[in-house]
Amino acid sequence: MGSARMTRALVVPFLTLFAGCAAPATQVILLGTGTPNADPDRSGPAVAVVVNETPYLVDCGPGIVRRAAAANRNGVTGLDAPNLKRVFITHLHSDHTLGLPDLIFTPWVLGRDTPLEIYGPPGTSEMAEHLVAAYRQDIRIRIDGLEPANPNGYQVNVHEIEPGIVYRDDNVIVKAFPVRHGSWKHAFGYRFETADRTIVISGDTAPCQSLIDHAEGCDILIHEVYSAKAFKERPPEWQRYHAAFHTSTKELAEIATQVRPGLLVLTHQLFWGKTEADLLAEVRESYDGPVVSGRDLDKY
């Protein structure tokens, strides 16, 4: 059976971006905007940045492959299952990774014939190795049984990353930067630079300077958030937790005022009885830029 193969992603010198290249059409699709709460309208956290019909996934919450199939059916070419070949994981919380076995195996069953490339924090290799081992009976039956199956598509190449440039190709440069997510020693946000847009995805984070530094002037900032007003009614132990791990509407308004993104997109929304309109109103109390509350399959 195949197993995870880990490499250390290196920080390489920054080069002139895509000199002489025609600008690609970069699309951003929210595949999942949920939290650990089992909201049937919101799949687990996942974003697709699609450049020249090539998808780059960030996080893999529950439902990611089916959400990608829905986006593909809605006209986002490139998100068909065999084309899901690379994912960038922000941190190893279960709500951001429960879709990883789905992303490893379902596209393989549907025809992917190359290993899944996984970029993530230390610990990602161990997770991937155990997942592949857990499905060894499924792998054996598909390869050695009557079902036509290739021997490569279920395998994974894991790149445990450090801050800096972690990936580049003809479409995109991807930079990882550290964020402050409570007790996690390693948690990252990602900055995607294409020929026509810059997209920053916060992952889960409390306010931190590194995000501000990497998001300044970006075209799209996709940022997690919770209701500052509902927070006041939460039990003290949960207030301690959320203040250390996440970002309130008031804090996000302050961040966006410094960053000035072309568009601020709220995701991983913790409503606690509030509505999308309530969260937007809270942000707009002290931020006057363009802002929307993201929903699954929204496209920008």
Find the catalytic residue in 59, 80, 95, 102: 95
The answer to whether residues 216 and 195 touch, using CB atoms and an 8 Å cutoff, is no
Query: Would you call 95 a catalytic residue per the annotation?
Result: yes
Q: What are phi and psi of 291, to 5 degrees?
A: -150, 140
Residue 10 burial (CB < 10 Å; 0-12/13-18/19+)?
exposed
CB atoms within 10 A of CB 39: 14
Rounded to whole angstroms, the Cα distance separating 105 from 87 reads 14
Rounded to whole angstroms, the Cα distance separating 264 from 200 reads 10
Taking Cα atoms as reference points, which of 29, 20, 13, 71 lies closest to residue 199?
A: 29
Rounded to whole angstroms, the Cα distance separating 199 from 207 reads 18
Rounded to whole angstroms, the Cα distance separating 206 from 77 reads 34
Active site residues: 95
